[in-house]
Amino acid sequence: MDELPPALVLEILNRLNNTTDLARCRLTSKSLNSIAAEIRSIHLQCSFDRYTKSRSPVTASQVTPFKEIFRTLISNTKHVVDSITIGVEKPLRGISFDDAEDELDDLYLTCVDFVSEWLPVHGRQLRSLSISDFWIQSCWRQSNVLSLISSFCHHLEEVELKNTWLSMDGLNKMHNLTSLTLEFIRLEDENLSKLNDCFPFLRVLILNEVGGLKEPMINLLHLTTCQWTVSNAPLSLSISAPKLVKFKLNCVRPNTLLIDAPLLSDFSITLSNTNHFLVKELPNLRTLKIESPNLGRFISIFPFGKTVNSLSLDSSSKEEFNLMSVMDAFPNVRSLTIGHLAWSEAEIQFQHDKGRSNNGNIAIKGLKQITAHLVLAEVELTQALIFDILGRCSDLSDVTLLVHRNVDSIIASNLMAKCMACNARVRWRLGNWGQ
């Protein structure tokens, strides 16, 4: 390392995922210690092992407090940093309240008193900030950290906050912020009105398990990508984003779902049900993924299927499901992916419809690729449905059969051999799914 140019060494040190490794590097030589002081990013994670040792009567006195490590690291940097990532590792999420001392605050990382120690100095040039809190300590303490961030971080472009209770009081507009991630958050902004007002130039928004919402509405003029997982069941849910291109939505059962996104081209939706599904025109929709226990009904009411050319379907419950109705609703699909529950129901419906004279000669044109997730509960029925699809789809050229990994490999191989013998013009692939 001593023979490498200092600029290259600095680039390597900047790429370390955990600044704890950087601290170890600084102990190995004077040159590394000097170069390491030039870094402009800090990435520090509290491991599960460090947490357990800090709670053990035997080892607690030997463990340096996590916040103290961070204070030392940031105070030893020669320059103002442009990226800070600080948090707890994912295994700490699984700790129950019964197993932790929730009166402590050693890992309460969105604490305003702690953040205000370093943010006023290092926030002025900060471009990226990520804080992943310890839920057991943060969930009952409301934090005004967002207000603090908006006061000192005028050049901030990316913010990521996880596992905490956030207040939106005193929040200033952040005109440079283009990416916001809130994950496992209790948010005091039930309709998202403050979020819309204070982050007007967001292009990427990720809301994952954000609670406290009542009638949330996303209204952002510059938003292009959005992931939204709603943990509770709000009365209504809506998004208005004229530049939105990619949208992934997972929600329970809102009374009303309203989507106004004319440029949307990639749409993934997981939905239990909704009384009113209102979608304004989606002329650019090309890729669609639907998962719902009411898959058949959802397909029947989806109004913009003609533009879709890549479709993925799955169900979370057993219900009547017909592949022919899918092709009626999405006549221009070129690539179709079917989840295991949807395929199982398609098999049942196929067996039920077998022999009906009005169902035997319906051709499906345009479909070129199929990916099917199979459980092979009844191999002969699965094979019969595959052969029926081959007979209807004259343009089909690529079929992937993903068999559940618990199925005997010989059974899966025999099915594949029969399919290949039935139609040699199709390119066949065999794989597996499941854990």
Least confident of 111-120, 139-148, 272-281: 272-281
Which whole-number Å values give the CA distances from 55 to 50, 58, 65, in the listed order?
9, 9, 11
Asked whether residue 21 is domain-assigned, the answer is yes
Q: What is the span of the domain harbouring residue 8?
A: 1-39
Q: What 3-state DSSP class applies to 49?
A: helix
Assigned token pair, 314: 């799955």
As a 3-state breakdown, the chain gives helix, strand, coil percent values, each rounded to 5, of 30, 25, 40
Residue 84: pLDDT band by 50, 70, 90 thresholds? very high
pLDDT at 298 over 90: no
List, for residues 331-343, the tens digit of each pLDDT value: 999 999 999 999 9
Q: How far apart (Å, rounded) are the C-alpha atoms in residues 387 and 382?
A: 9
Distance CA 222, CA 326 (A): 33
Does residue 266 belong to any structural domain of this protein?
no
* 231, 251 Cβ separation under 8 angstroms: no
CATH of the domain at 376: 3.80.10
CA angle 85, 44, 15 (to 5 degrees): 75
pLDDT at 189 over 90: yes
Q: How confident is the model at residue 279, as a pLDDT?
A: 83
Mean pLDDT of the chain: 86
What is the percent of the chain where pLDDT is above 70? 85
Residue 299, domain member (yes or no): yes
| The pLDDT value given to residue 253 | 76
pLDDT value for 142:
96
Q: Which two structure tokens, joined as six digits, stand for 246?
A: 């990619």
Specify the pLDDT at position 357: 47
pLDDT tier at 372, thresholds 50, 70, 90: very high
Cα 310 from Cα 19, distance rounded (Å) = 42
CA dist 135 and 51 (Å) reads: 14
Q: Whole-angstrom Cα distance, residue 127 to residue 327? A: 47
Per residue in 123-176, pLDDT tens? 888 999 999 999 999 989 999 999 999 999 999 999 999 999 999 999 999 999
Tracing tokens 């009906």 back to the chain, one arrives at 356
Residue 1 pLDDT exceeds 60: no
Q: What number of other Cβ atoms are within 10 A of residue 188's Cβ? A: 14
pLDDT at 229 over 60: yes
Which of 190, 108, 198 has the alpha carbon at shortest distance from 146?
198
| pLDDT tens digits, 388-398 | 999 888 899 99
Q: Is residue 414 in some structural domain?
A: yes
**Where are any strands of DSSP class E within 24-79?**
41-46
- Domain-embedded: residue 377: yes
Work out how many domains the chain is built from and give that number: 2
Q: Decide if 224 is inside a domain.
A: no
Q: Quick check: 355 pLDDT over 50? A: yes
Whether residue 389 is contained in a domain is answered as: yes
Question: What single DSSP character describes residue 74?
Answer: H
User: Could you tell me if residue 158 is inside a domain?
Assistant: no
What's the token pair of residue 15?
A: 């790429």
Nearest one of 202, 183, 55 to 218, comparing CA atoms: 202
User: What pLDDT is stored for residue 190 in this prediction?
Assistant: 92
Structure tokens at 204: 């990427």
Q: Is the pLDDT of residue 214 over 60?
A: yes
Give the pTM: 0.87
How would residue 260 be classed by pLDDT, with cut points 50, 70 and 90?
A: very high
Phi, psi of 74 (to 5 degrees): -75, -30
**Quick one: pLDDT at residue 398?**
96
Rounded CA-CA distance 47/55 in Å is: 13
pLDDT of residue 421: 92
pLDDT computed for residue 292 by the predictor: 87
